[in-house]
Structure 1
């Protein structure tokens, strides 16, 4: 079925149904009655159902016609809005930035990493959170402009991606006020007595914290492990346990969650990396966030696992 031909027939049917008769529709369209009638009959033939039935001096909709009318209303109401929408899009420039965030990356850190472009006029920001392999696949297919992760992916010859370390934050321990005194008493050995919340492996922070416990000679009393960093902080703020977090977001952490700093986690840092695709014409906002090093060669990152 030809879409151009059928949409024209559908439009004539729509006008007939709204006017309540073929004669009135023909007068509105400036066409002969026979022409309008033939167009509607052709639509009925293509759809395989009668859409109109005689009703007095006009016509009425059959059950099939009522459904066709509902769909036609949607189609042509959208069509009436199209010129205005196009004019609005042409006169209002939009700078789109599509960012993927690795699951487990602290949400408050994401805001800090993107802050250099958040004041861009007419910015349209889209942020999605997925497993890193899925994000890298979408980045390679140009469905995303940038990916933020807490660990650099291993090189992969199949994808032209560039990785840049944006910053490294020290890590500290935090607790709800009810746990603060017990956690600070003989810290860090106190972490063997008080409940402890940790990120799940293979989070970069967890990979470093396990050896930190060994060096401190502490066997932690782990009561919860979380993939999502926001959930980890939420449960920690409710007093379920002492938890680690990046110092970069300490001010927001204390203000938003009402927790207190327990002590340092010396030697444990959380890195934050940006990954972008190598393009002949780089995205201007990505170039602002991840400026290429002069003379640097592209670093390749892994695609999705099989």
Structure 2
């Protein structure tokens, strides 16, 4: 079986037709059609059936796609592994960070990838998760850090590698806390509140938690950037929640009071890669450090300042 013919078949099925596949590969649709016909002749099996002007996979074609997906996924993994094999020059590590992940937490997750003994050039991109996954699919990125697994609506062949999870910690400026009549969490109903943006897993789980507690705070701001939300919180605009993993640094400076924690609300973090088995040295370093890192960060938070009552 000619693998080039199989590749043209696979690309056509993935693209939705020979015209789109030709545009992606910069060759004529006639060339692709001819290569697919040669593949079908060599296998003595029809892989596509025409439905008007559209192509549909036959049962044999669907079976061939399952194998082709595996083959070309492994091919991409091999390319990545060889490209990053030590060659006497700095390894290039291209990582995308979902804009819903707090910057300080992203830094802690990525820091183990930078080893002075093994020079690495790290290239970070921050964007919406769907855009980052699109770049991952075409190998413009080696890794995506996100606060949720791959959404079901995104058609990307990649794998979720869980890094760890964290509870939520709630904060407010001293001026807001002084006027409170109720303890946490009931006090949240009395406080103006800042929310993370729509793409954040924290927002969804925080709203669910407030609903279960039958709390209806007044929402005064929404922020995609956790650091900006924290700055507004320090200024006394509203109460807010961030992962307990960054609780201590959020308290640094003394402007904020820890209202309480919702340890039952777990925010998970993932490294998303085209690799089923992690081989990139930087990704391995991140994964191994994260396993112990989240537990250590939360244990540090438990030993920090007591919550407000």
What TM-score do the two structures reach when normalised by structure 2? 0.59
CA distance change for structure 1 residues 220 and 97 in 2, over 3 Å: closer, same or farther? same
C-alpha distance in structure 1 between counterparts of 2:278 and 2:184, whole Å: 52
* Residue in structure 2 matched with residue 153 of structure 1 by the alignment: 150
* Residue in structure 1 matched with residue 225 of structure 2 by the alignment: 228
Larger Rg: 1
* Residue in structure 2 matched with residue 246 of structure 1 by the alignment: 243
Deviation at 1:281, TM superposition (A): 9.4
Deviations 1:187-224 (A, max 9, x none): 22222222111113342111111121122221111111
C-alpha distance in structure 2 between counterparts of 1:249 and 1:193, whole Å: 25
Structure 2: runs of 5 or more not aligned? 1-86, 289-309
C-alpha distance in structure 2 between counterparts of 1:95 and 1:184, whole Å: 56
**Which residue, out of 87, 93, 97, partners 2:93?**
97
C-alpha distance in structure 1 between counterparts of 2:133 and 2:257, whole Å: 36
SS in 1 for 2:216: coil
**For the Cα contact (< 8 Å) 1:102–1:130, is it kept in 2?**
yes
C-alpha distance in structure 2 between counterparts of 1:218 and 1:118, whole Å: 43
C-alpha distance in structure 1 between counterparts of 2:201 and 2:274, whole Å: 23
Deviations 1:58-87 (A, max 9, x none): xxxxxxxxxxxxxxxxxxxxxxxxxxxxxx
**For the Cα contact (< 8 Å) 1:182–1:190, is it kept in 2?**
no
Deviation at 1:180, TM superposition (A): 2.6
User: In the comparison of the two structures, how many residue pairs are matched?
Assistant: 201
CA distance change for structure 1 residues 225 and 167 in 2, over 3 Å: closer, same or farther? same
C-alpha distance in structure 2 between counterparts of 1:264 and 1:149, whole Å: 22
C-alpha distance in structure 2 between counterparts of 1:280 and 1:207, whole Å: 30
**Which residue, out of 251, 259, 263, partners 1:262?**
259
* Residue in structure 1 matched with residue 75 of structure 2 by the alignment: none
CA distance change for structure 1 residues 198 and 157 in 2, over 3 Å: closer, same or farther? closer
CA RMSD of aligned residues (A): 2.6
* Residue in structure 1 matched with residue 135 of structure 2 by the alignment: 138
C-alpha distance in structure 2 between counterparts of 1:211 and 1:122, whole Å: 44
**Which residue, out of 113, 116, 128, partners 2:109?**
113
C-alpha distance in structure 2 between counterparts of 1:135 and 1:256, whole Å: 34
Alignment of 1:37-186 (within 5 A): 93-120=89-116, 121-154=118-151, 159-183=156-180, 185-186=182-183
Alignment of 1:181-196 (within 5 A): 181-183=178-180, 185-196=182-193
SS in 2 for 1:133: helix
Structure 1: runs of 5 or more not aligned? 1-90, 292-306
CA distance change for structure 1 residues 266 and 289 in 2, over 3 Å: closer, same or farther? closer
CA distance change for structure 1 residues 218 and 283 in 2, over 3 Å: closer, same or farther? same
